[in-house]
């Protein structure tokens, strides 16, 4: 793309009311245009980034079998009245009336509508589980829109909805979506974390929110500390069996071997309501407490919750309670979300006086169920309190929910209830795509502008020809390289404007194109071209004859 044929809407300055760095840079780089408070148009540069992020999300959603659909943004008021959320949403809900005085709302989310579609279109339980998603605009009448795309009245979202005939199936899909979100955010090169969260107006019993750090200085400090922490182990060690008759409990184990409780896994055995599976093992970190309410929400767990005593464990498992562990545990195992992140951890060997050291999930223990089991006190909410600076300096980028039958029990199920009189179980999963872009920019920028990675950059390469309109040689070489790169399916932005080189450099670095080729008469005397890597800041001199192969090699992993 030649800039002379492109709309490059860069700005030197923006209004002083733009509070966040991402908002400033999105306006200055010409990604968005402010229409009104909380309303923005996506300009060509921003739209190119937006499309690439959508492509990544679509790929990962399709990979897990989700089916893309598209629902209208206008919903009948009656549908929201039926679920009870019409009044619950209050003033945040955009409401409108058509010429026939029929009342509608602009969708902030789609639980009611997707449930109505599924319950009326699918009439056979054998079709489930099913997972549908869409990427479309949502609307919320924010009382104080701010920070650009972080809090806007209209925003782009990926919302997905899964339907199941039982709780077990819902939990399986929930865990798959949890893993998929991790993959998506890692592909986008975001520094993020995940926490159990309130279900709020969406509802349900379990939810987790994904948050991206938005303070670059803090990110570096936070992750440097993590690397120095001995409890954060990256190397996978060989499994060891250790015998010690003097260790009586987990506290003794922690003291004797000088390991933090974070590296010790405990198993809590509870009674099941299924005769075929009499007991269930709940796996948590030793420094965490089991949340009885969360455990009782698992459909296989007997209610009220009954934890096996030491005598019962001796009777049924022939071991002492302190030697319970996940390897060769003769019952169903359900692992807490925090426990599944453990590496090289310690736990009982299911043999008296013996422990396994350096256990790793999937290598040593097969895991089927992962869910939220940990008790969280309101006054001590993990990262929200312990690392309150991290939480306060973060942007919510994703949220997943186990909804149960909250919506399916109030929306008509007549079609699929003919042969089975029960409600469907449902999950919903959202990603704020507009916010993802803001979160990325908050983490990846410098004094010159945005620093995009290769996968989501608006262009892969920028060509800056020095004095293009004065030097015939610079013009010929620039044109030749431009066509070579375009023919190799590399996205190129060719700065063919009749302006000073300083302005060219300023604009290209502001936009954040990862690879910049500088073509000048001086370098062409030795048949060389300068390549500046925007991500690392390094500058290289490359032969003009092999520049295309050189760029292709750099971008190889992305094509």
pLDDT at residue 223, rounded to an integer: 34
261, two tokens: 């409780």
In the block, residue with structure tokens 């945005």: 450
Q: What tokens appear for 189 in the block?
A: 């090169």
Contact, 205 vs 167, CB < 8 A?
no
Q: Where in the chain is the domain with CATH 3.90.960.10?
A: 233-371
User: Whose CA is closest to 405, among 380, 418, 424, 382?
Assistant: 424
CATH of 8-67+109-214+393-443 among 3.40.50.1110, 3.40.640.10, 3.30.499.10, 3.30.930.10: 3.30.930.10
Provide CATH code, domain 233-371: 3.90.960.10
- Asked if residue 248 lies in contact with residue 254, where contact means CB atoms within 8 angstroms, the answer is no
pLDDT at 510: 96
CATH 3.30.930.10 occupies which residues in the chain? 8-67+109-214+393-443
Q: Return the pLDDT at 131.
A: 95
Q: Which residues contact 533 (CB under 8 A, 6 or more apart)?
A: 514, 515, 539, 540
The three-state secondary structure class of 192 is strand
d(CA 190, CA 476): 40
At 413 the pLDDT is: 58
Total residue count of the chain as it appears in this document: 559
3-state secondary structure 357-373: EEECECCCECCCEEECC
pLDDT tens for each residue of 435-465: 999 999 999 999 999 999 999 999 999 999 9
Residues with pLDDT less than 50, the chain: 216-234, 378-392, 419, 421, 558-559
- CA distances 270 to 114, 226, 306, Å, are 36, 34, 6
DSSP string, 340-355: GG--SEEEE-SSTTEE
Return the pLDDT at 222.
34
- How many helices (DSSP H) and strands (DSSP E) are in the chain? 17, 26
User: Which pLDDT score, from 0 to 100, does residue 333 have?
Assistant: 92
Task: Look at residue 466 in the predicted model and tell me its pLDDT.
Answer: 95
- Beta bridge pairs of residue 374: 290
Centroid of chain to Cα 392? 18
CA-CA distance, 33 to 432, in Å (whole number)?
19
Cα–Cα distance, 336 to 316 (Å, whole number):
24
Question: Crossing angle of helices 21-28/433-443, nearest 10°?
Answer: 100
Q: How far is CA 519 from the centre of its chain?
A: 40
Q: In angstroms, rounded to a whole number, what is the distance separating the alpha carbons of residues 161 and 108?
A: 15
Burial of residue 417 (CB within 10 Å: 0-12, 13-18, 19+) is middle
**What is the rounded distance in angstroms from the CA atom of residue 357 to the CA atom of residue 229?**
19
Residue 443 contacts residue 219 (beta carbons within 8 Å): yes
Question: What kind of fold does domain 454-558 have according to CATH?
Answer: Rossmann fold (3.40.50)
299's tokens? 């459909």
Q: Rounded to whole angstroms, how far apart are CA atoms 284 and 323?
A: 14
The string of pLDDT tens digits covering residues 206-257 is 888 899 887 543 333 333 333 333 333 446 889 999 988 777 777 788 888 8
Q: How far apart are CA 213 and CA 256, in angstroms?
A: 37
Start and end residues for every CATH 3.40.50.800 domain found in the chain: 454-558
Whether residue 129 has a cis bond before it, omega within 30° of 0:
yes
The model's pLDDT over 485-543, given as tens digits with 9 standing for 90+, comes to 999 999 999 999 999 999 999 999 999 999 999 999 999 999 999 999 998 889 999 99
Give the tokens for residue 145: 């829109």
Among 553, 468, 483, CA closest to 519 = 468
- Report the DSSP pairing between strands 354-359 and 74-76: unpaired
Q: Return the H-helix or E-strand segment holding 464.
A: strand 461-465
Longest dimension (CA), the chain: 91
On whether the CB atoms of residues 130 and 65 are closer than 8 A, the answer is no
């Amino acid at each position: 793309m030649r800039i002379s044929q492109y709309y490059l809407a860069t700005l030197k300055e923006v209004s002083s009311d733009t509070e966040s760095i991402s908002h400033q840079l999105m306006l200055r780089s010409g990604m968005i245009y402010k229409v009104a408070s909380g309303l923005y148009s996506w300009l060509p540069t921003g739209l190119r980034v937006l499309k690439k992020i959508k492509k990544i999300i679509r790929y990962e959603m399709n990979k897990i079998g989700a089916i893309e659909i598209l629902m209208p943004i206008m919903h009948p008021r009656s549908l929201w009245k039926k679920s009870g959320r019409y009044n619950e949403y209050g003033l945040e809900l955009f409401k409108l009336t058509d010429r026939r005085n029929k009342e509608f709302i602009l969708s902030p989310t789609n639980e009611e509508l997707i449930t109505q579609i599924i319950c009326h279109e699918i009439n056979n339980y054998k079709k489930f589980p099913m997972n549908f998603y869409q990427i479309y605009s949502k609307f919320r009448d924010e009382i104080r829109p701010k920070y650009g795309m972080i809090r806007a009245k209209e925003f782009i979202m990926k919302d997905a909805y899964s339907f199941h005939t039982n709780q077990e199936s819902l939990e399986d899909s929930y865990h798959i979506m949890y893993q998929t979100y991790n993959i998506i955010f890692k592909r986008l090169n975001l520094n993020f974390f995940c926490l159990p969260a309130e279900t709020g107006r969406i509802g349900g019993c379990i939810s987790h929110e994904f948050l991206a750090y938005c303070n670059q200085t803090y990110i570096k400090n936070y992750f440097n500390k993590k690397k120095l922490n001995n409890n954060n182990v990256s190397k996978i060690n060989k499994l060891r069996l250790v015998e010690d008759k003097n260790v009586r409990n987990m506290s003794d184990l922690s003291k004797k071997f000088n390991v933090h409780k974070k590296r010790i896994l405990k198993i809590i055995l509870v009674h099941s309501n299924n005769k075929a599976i009499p007991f269930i093992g709940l796996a948590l970190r030793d420094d965490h407490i089991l949340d009885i309410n969360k455990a009782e929400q698992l459909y296989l767990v007997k209610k009220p919750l009954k934890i096996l005593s030491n005598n019962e464990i001796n009777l049924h498992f022939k071991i002492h309670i302190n030697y319970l562990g996940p390897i060769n545990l003769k019952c169903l195992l359900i692992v807490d979300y925090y426990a599944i992140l453990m590496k090289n951890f310690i736990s009982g060997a299911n043999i008296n006086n013996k422990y396994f050291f350096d256990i790793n999930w999937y290598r040593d223990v097969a895991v089927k169920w992962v869910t939220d089991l940990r008790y969280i006190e309101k006054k001590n909410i993990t990262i929200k309190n312990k690392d309150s600076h991290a939480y306060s300096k973060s942007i919510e980028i994703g949220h997943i929910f186990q909804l149960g039958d909250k919506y399916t029990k109030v929306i008509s199920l007549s079609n699929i209830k003919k042969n089975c009189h029960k409600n469907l179980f449902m999950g919903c999963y959202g990603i704020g795509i507009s916010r993802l872009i803001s979160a990325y920019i908050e983490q990846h920028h410098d004094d010159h502008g945005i620093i995009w990675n290769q996968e989501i950059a608006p262009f892969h390469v920028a060509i800056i020809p020095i004095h293009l309109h004065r030097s015939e040689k610079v013009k010929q070489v620039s044109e030749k390289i431009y066509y070579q790169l375009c023919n190799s399916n590399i996205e190129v932005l060719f700065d063919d404007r009749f302006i000073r080189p300083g302005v060219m450099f300023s604009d290209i670095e502001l936009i954040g194109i990862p690879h910049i080729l500088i073509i000048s008469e001086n370098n062409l005397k030795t048949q060389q071209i300068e390549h500046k890597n925007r991500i690392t800041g390094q500058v290289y001199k490359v032969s003009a004859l092999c520049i295309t192969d050189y760029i292709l090699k750099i971008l190889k992993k992305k094509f």
